[in-house]
Amino acid sequence: MSIENLSKILKESNNIVFFGGAGISTESGIPDFRSETGLYKTDSGQRYPPEIVLSHTFFMKHTKDFFKFYKEKMIYTGAKPNSAHLALAKLEGMGKLKAVVTQNIDGLHQTAGNKNVYELHGSVHRNYCTKCHAFYDLNLILESNDIPKCPKCGGTVKPDVVLYEEGLDNDVINGAVNAIEYADTLIIGGTSLVVYPAAGLINYFKGKTLILINKSSTPYDSKADLVIHDSIGKVLSAAIKFTS
């Protein structure tokens, strides 16, 4: 039984790192925008794919339309941590899980209680003034009419989320690489491992056990010590029952 194998690994390891993709958030009802093929229609009637709307160029040129899309499609204030988030928080509390590396921007790992989280693509909960660099929470974005403005200086407030054409934060990348490099167990969940930088990052893993949990198969299945094709929430919550 693969669940039993997984709980045995969790029991024996004290240096686990979890790497998660969009599949973690979809189980909390947050859609994976990369899998949405719909086109976004701006106020001026033009149609764009989400990859264009969520680009740095679009943010600079069509700021109002950017925020309209962003508020409608990228923010889910009602979303709650699911059983995957809760199991990972429990593993960190037990001292077994050393870090979560995530491609998600919803902050649900922190809501569940995880402390050491590397958010590769940033977070909707952090927003900063592009002029004076003051930081604001999500409320400032939600309460703005069209373009969120800094109450201190009037500058445009930008979400601390990595847009297309923008680079990842060096400190976040280094922290994630370091955690993966020194882990003895790496669990990869809810990602097909085709989106940058996921595939590159897991090449740093030198530990003992590589585990892949994803509903569909991935290009790395043959390299893993344990592969489970099922819901990440279902698998982790079942495995953790036998771990404590």
132, 142, 147, 194: which one binds Zn ion (CB under 5 A): 132
| Residue 17 DSSP SS3 | strand
Position 131 contacts Zn ion (CB under 5 A): yes
Interface region with Zn ion, contact rule CB under 5 A, candidates 48-56, 77-85, 145-153, 212-220: 145-153
Interface region with Zn ion, contact rule CB under 5 A, candidates 41-49, 124-132, 141-149, 214-222: 124-132
Interface region with Zn ion, contact rule CB under 5 A, candidates 133-141, 167-175, 183-191, 223-231: 133-141
Q: How far is the CB of 136 from Zn ion (least distance, A)?
A: 9
Q: How far is the CB of 130 from Zn ion (least distance, A)?
A: 8
CA–CA distance, 187 with 212 (Å, rounded to integer): 6
Backbone angles phi, psi at 126, to 5 degrees: -110, 130
Position 129 contacts Zn ion (CB under 5 A): yes
* 233 in Cβ contact with 25 (< 8 Å): no
Q: Which of residues 161-180 bind Zn ion (CB under 5 A)?
A: none
Catalytic residues: 121
Cite the beta strand spans of 75-171 per DSSP E. 97-102, 117-119, 122-129, 135-136, 157-161
Q: How far is the CB of 148 from Zn ion (least distance, A)?
A: 11
Q: What angle do CA 172, 176, 181 make, to 5 degrees?
A: 150
16, 87, 124, 150: which one binds Zn ion (CB under 5 A): 150
CA–CA distance, 96 with 184 (Å, rounded to integer): 11
Q: How far is the CB of 135 from Zn ion (least distance, A)?
A: 10
# residues contacting Zn ion (CB under 5 A):
8
Q: Smaller CB distance to Zn ion: residue 132 or 195?
A: 132
Q: Smaller CB distance to Zn ion: residue 64 or 152?
A: 152
Position 153 contacts Zn ion (CB under 5 A): yes
Q: Smaller CB distance to Zn ion: residue 155 or 175?
A: 155
Position 155 contacts Zn ion (CB under 5 A): yes
Q: What is the dihedral of CA 147, 149, 154, 159, to 10 degrees?
A: -100
* 155 in Cβ contact with 131 (< 8 Å): yes
The residue among 54, 68, 17 whose CA lies nearest residue 207 is 17
Backbone angles phi, psi at 31, to 5 degrees: -70, 150
Interacting residues toward Zn ion by CB under 5 A: 129, 131-132, 134, 150, 152-153, 155
